[in-house]
Structures are given as structure tokens and as C-alpha cells.
Structure 1
Amino acid sequence: MYINLNDLTPNKVSINLSQYSTIWMGDTGVGKTTTLMKFLKELSPDKEPFFLEFEDRYQNIPGIMAVKIDTMSDFKSVIGQLRNPVFKEKFSCIIVDTLDKYEEFCERYVLENRDAEILKDVGGFGEGSLRFKSALRNIGVIQSLGYTVHSIAQSSHSKDFDTKKESDTLKLNKNTFSYCRESAYLVGYMWKDSKDERYITFKKTDKYPDLKDTFGLPEKINVKELKTVWTKAVQDLGGDFTTKEKTIDKKPVAENFEEVKAKGVELGSLLFSNGHAAEATAVLQKNLGLDDNGNVKMFDSLRDSQIDLTKVIVMELQELVDKFAIK
């Protein structure tokens, strides 16, 4: 239930590539969705990548496992179903297609429900931006369910009139950009040549300022060779500290709220019966506060969604029991 530093071991880098979140950007029509689908199937042949589609372009892709998201209620319904462990065995990962359309989706949801034209018109003190960020974080909810989340994004091409330098960037606002890029291990730009071969680069340059390479990959990679090249890069990076096992545990730890709560009640009773009611009450007041009548809230006010808070209270009560050497 709690972290035990005695179990700490040196970190190992895993060649199980299915656990690393990525963002694939590129021009419209370059084949990002199809190419990413084939690559993800290569990583996990026994499962299907599941695409959350915020536009209709996927409908000409044979065999894709996808659902069109039109409303927030659609999205919440899908997230609710993904909580079922059955789908962890069916889907290898979740893909947001595309990030820029997802961004529009979240912004539209906020504006339509607040009858506003722009986010600045939604309440005061930046309420519009806060509500937009809240909608955006549904990606984090999916990740918290134990799924690796990948994203596809359209690129935006620009040219500086003074320097004449050209660049391709993610077509996203700063909130979406920072939130999604931060959690990704790789952010790549994909293109195709005259022979219809797909290539990808993860090297951040003046031309591609938004890219991200955590593993030291080559500058240009044929997508057909990406798994082999990426695996070798991880092996070179990890050396003796390389493993085939997953090192990123995306499975949420199931804990029994009632058992944790019962432990807290037990510790509180020990403190009360041994003359340390004031100290135990101080822990409850600090963490739970007072009710409408000015009384300190007790354990019966806790809900199962507050299991982390309950665990903190239990740890602090345990520290008191140890401090006073109560058996």
C-alpha cells in the first residue's frame, strides 16, 4: 500500500516499446493514421490499437478500430467503458486523432455550455482557460486507467519573412502543446517521399522546433525500420541496465478503501484510549477540516474517491502510535 525504500533497485530501461507515449505530426494526407496503426500493431500483434477520432478522415482506413467522438457525453461514455479491465486485454493503447481537432472539441464544449464566443468571455479570472484545461485533462484520465496514449497532430508550416527560415510546428495552442508534449517520450514529424516511403524524425531543429527525442534516435528513420532502430537505441542507452519487462506500470493499483479506512479507525481508537485524543483530533482537523457546525470531521465523512487522503491520514496516525510506543 505504501512505498518501501528497502525494495528500491537501480532503474532499468525497457525495450518493451508499447509502454512509451508518442506524438506523430505531419501534413494532411501523408498517411499518419494508417502508418501509426500499422506500427502499433507491429509492437503488440495480439491486441488492437484503439483510435478516438475527432474527425471523419479515418473512415477510409480498412480494419481500423475506431470510434467517432462528437460530444463530451460520447467521450465520457467511452472513458467509462475503458474502466472495464476487459478492454485492457483487447486494446494495446489509445490514440487521440487528431490533437488539433481534440483541442477544438474541448474549446467548443466550454464555449457552447457557457454561451460564449471566446474563452476570455467565459466568466472572470481566467475561468474559460481553466475549464478548457479541465476538459483537456481527459487524456490524463485515460492514462490513469493504465493505457498508453498516443496522439496524431497536424503540422503547421510557416516561413519567417526576415530570415526566410521555414519551420513545421504542432498546430496547437500553448496549453494543449505543453500538456501533451510533456508526457510524450517521442514527438516526431512524418513525411513521405516520391516512392511513397514514410520517414520520421524526432530531432529538434530550427525546422522542427517542437520535436522530442528521449532515446537518441537517428536523424531520419524509415517507419518500416522504426521498431528495430528504436529498440537498438534503447539497448545502447540502457547498456547493462536494459530489460525486456515493462518498467512503466500503467496498471492502476486496486486498493480496498474500506480496509484503509478501517485501519485509520483502529489507529484513532488506540490513540483515544491511550490519552492522545488531542493529537489524533489535530491530524483529522488538519486533513479534513471542520463541518458546518464547527466540529472536526471524522472518518465517516470520507468517500472512496478520497482513498489517497485516507492513506495520508492513516500514515500520520501510525506515526503518532509509533511515537508514543502504543501497542
Structure 2
Amino acid sequence: MIPNLLDLQPNKVSVDLTQYSMIIMGDTGVGKTMSTMKFLKELVPDKDPFFLEFEDRFQNIPGITAVKVNSMSDFKSIIGQLRNPALKNKFSCIVIDTLDKYEEFCERYVLENRDAEILKDVGGFGEGSLRFKSALRNIGLIQSLGYTVHCIAQSSHVKDFDTKKESDSLKLNKNTFSYCREGAFLVGYMYQKDGERYVTFKKSDKYPDLKDTFNLPTEINIKDLKDVWVKAVEDLGGDFTTKEKTIDKTTHVEDFNAIKNKGLELGALLAQHGYLNEATAVLQKNLGLDDDGNVKMFDSLRDTQIDLTKVIVMELEELVDKYNIK
């Protein structure tokens, strides 16, 4: 719901790091899962990050709260359980581990259910890619439940044959890359040096996929990431810094029937005062005509059309105000 614009205040940047999603990539065995778990636990000591595992490597990590996802039905069951408000008190966030295996999982689901070997073989007009993107967007569904979603990913090391330049990038196809990187505030590369684990978020020729929204230092010991990140937010925000949480992707469920009933009442009110034609014009503009050429009525709206229903109600309210109907 859009707030009253008269009450709108300048944006403030929050030092509540729990709301910022990130992607941590690195070579196999560098300790991405363990380090990410420790960092997220440091942010919220009284809750556990919940790892959705798409491979078995997590089995040797002590203290991790995780479940292996073997099928889309498993995944949907987990999402269904995450709707339980009690789990918001148990889990601080959700971690996809690893993002490249999740990509394979989504692609395999589409191919197996369409008896195809590659996505191009799944129907026509790019149907395979569309179905893959739909499966991939289950991450957004988890976010809509109010959870911050982080991702761990394997890096791919490439050496250009001509220029001899070497780079480390995300081992993902363009659909997964654009969808997940766009939604992340940070994309970092983790590596080991002198027995310690470090992370960098600075995009460069060597690390072309990285992303740094907060102007963090070039190299950060993972043990210092929380303090360094908070300081970067404070430097960025200046006087416009807050400790309050400012990002909420939770989808708030609205009462469709209540909104629809309000529209019916407004329509009846306008008709009683001689403005039936104006009310009908609003319906025709937004709903169109049926097969017989008649204006579609308010009763034809379904609960999946809640946004359209709200627009119609707002336009009927404008008519009521315009004609000063009490």
C-alpha cells in the first residue's frame, strides 16, 4: 500500500544486515558453507540460518541446520512449511547451497516432466526457458514469505587463450545469473590466504561478476565482515542511517472478498443516486465486454485479480467523491 505522500520522508540506510541478500562464490572446498553459516549466526545469535542443500557436501559440517532437497515436491513441501509463522522464530534466513546445483535441479525438473534432453526441446516459442525461469523463481516465493535468501555458488576459473587473462566467475547460465545477481546486494568471492578466509566484493577483470552496493574494502577477512559492513553502511548513510529494518519483501495477503464487496456497495450507491452509467463506464474500461457484447460485471472478478479489483474500487471511490455522495 502506497503511504500518504504528504508523510513521505527521505530514505534511510539500515545497519540491520539481516535484510540484505548476498551471494558468496568460490572454489570447491574453500569453506564457503561453513564460513557463511558462522557469519549469519553472528548476525542473529538466537536463530539458525536454514540451508537448503542441493548436494551432499554439507554432511561434514557440524552444527548446520539443513535439509537435502531431492525433488521439486520436496522443495514445495519445504516452502509450504515455511509459511508457518513459528519457523520465523526458528530460522533467521534461508541459504540456497549451491546456486549452480539449484540451477541444475530446476532444469532437470523441467526436462524430466517434458521428456526432453535440452530446454529447447520443451515445446515451442521458448517454452522450456519459460518453465525453467518459473521453477527458478521459487526463490522469490520464499522471499515473499518474509525470509532473506542468500546463495552460495561455485566459481568457474577461465583463462583466455589469446590474452592469457584469468578470471573467476559464477558458473551459471544467463537466466540464473541475471535473476539472482540482480536481487543480491553483495556478490563476493571467497578465498584462502595465510590460513585465513577472505572475501572481496569488488568487480574487476579477474572477478567480473562481483557486486558491491556498500563500497566495502577490497579485501575483508571473513571474521571481520560484520563490523566492516556496518561501518560501510554508516559511512554511506551518514545522517540518513537507521538501525531499523527498512526492507520487507513479505507479500501481505489482502481480503479479496472484502475489497470486492466494497466495490459492489460503491456501485450500488452510485446507481441509487443516478450515476449507473458512470459506474458502468468504469467497469467497461477495466473489464471490457463479454462474448455477447455486454459489459462484464464486478461479480466476474476472481481472487487472482485482486490488483485489478482494487483499481476499480479506487475509481468508483473517486466517482463517489466527485459527486459528493454520502
TM-score, length-scaled by structure 1: 0.95
Aligned to 1:23: 23
**Cα distance in 2 for residues equivalent to 1:71 and 1:292:** 43
The 1:298–1:47 alpha-carbon spacing in structure 2 relative to 1, beyond 3 Å, is: farther
Please give the per-residue CA displacement for 1:115-152, whole angstroms capped at 9, x wherever unaligned.
11111111111111111111111111111111101001
The 1:295–1:113 alpha-carbon spacing in structure 2 relative to 1, beyond 3 Å, is: farther
Aligned to 2:94: 94
Contact kept, 8 Å, 2:287 with 2:296, in 1: the verdict is yes
Q: Number of matched residues? A: 326
Aligned to 1:128: 128
Secondary structure, in 3 states, of the residue corresponding to 2:154?
strand
Aligned to 2:202: 203
**Cα distance in 2 for residues equivalent to 1:203 and 1:236:** 17
**Structure 2 matches for 1:139-154, cutoff 5 A?**
139-154=139-154
TM-score, length-scaled by structure 2: 0.95
**Cα distance in 2 for residues equivalent to 1:64 and 1:293:** 61
Percent identical among aligned pairs is 79
**Cα distance in 1 for residues equivalent to 2:112 and 2:174:** 22
**Structure 2 matches for 1:131-210, cutoff 5 A?**
131-195=131-195, 197-210=196-209
Aligned to 2:216: 217
Aligned to 1:229: 228
Contact kept, 8 Å, 2:50 with 2:95, in 1: the verdict is yes
Q: What is the deviation of 1:306?
A: 3.2
Aligned to 1:278: 277
The 1:111–1:286 alpha-carbon spacing in structure 2 relative to 1, beyond 3 Å, is: farther
With 233-242 and 287-296 compared, the bigger mean Cα shift is at 287-296
The 1:306–1:83 alpha-carbon spacing in structure 2 relative to 1, beyond 3 Å, is: farther
Q: What is the deviation of 1:302?
A: 3.1
**Structure 1 residue runs without a partner (length 5+):** none
The 1:58–1:292 alpha-carbon spacing in structure 2 relative to 1, beyond 3 Å, is: farther
**Cα distance in 2 for residues equivalent to 1:108 and 1:279:** 53
The 1:57–1:256 alpha-carbon spacing in structure 2 relative to 1, beyond 3 Å, is: same
Q: What is the deviation of 1:280?
A: 1.9
Secondary structure, in 3 states, of the residue corresponding to 2:187?
strand
Aligned to 1:41: 41
Secondary structure, in 3 states, of the residue corresponding to 1:164?
coil
Q: What is the deviation of 1:212?
A: 0.2
Letter in 2 for 1:71: S
Q: What is the deviation of 1:291?
A: 4.6
Secondary structure, in 3 states, of the residue corresponding to 2:112?
helix
Please give the per-residue CA displacement for 1:266-296, whole angstroms capped at 9, x wherever unaligned.
1111222222223322322333344555543
Q: What is the deviation of 1:73?
A: 0.9
With 294-303 and 18-27 compared, the bigger mean Cα shift is at 294-303
**Structure 2 residue runs without a partner (length 5+):** none
Secondary structure, in 3 states, of the residue corresponding to 1:128?
helix
Q: What is the deviation of 1:67?
A: 1.2
Aligned to 1:12: 12
Secondary structure, in 3 states, of the residue corresponding to 1:63?
coil
Aligned to 1:301: 300
Query: Which consecutive aligned stretches of 4+ in structure 1 deviate over 6 angstroms post-superposition?
Result: none
With 289-298 and 251-260 compared, the bigger mean Cα shift is at 289-298
**Cα distance in 2 for residues equivalent to 1:292 and 1:211:** 53
Letter in 2 for 1:286: K
The 1:251–1:118 alpha-carbon spacing in structure 2 relative to 1, beyond 3 Å, is: closer
Q: Does 1:324 align with 2:323?
A: yes
Aligned to 2:310: 311
**Cα distance in 2 for residues equivalent to 1:124 and 1:174:** 20
Q: What is the deviation of 1:61?
A: 1.0
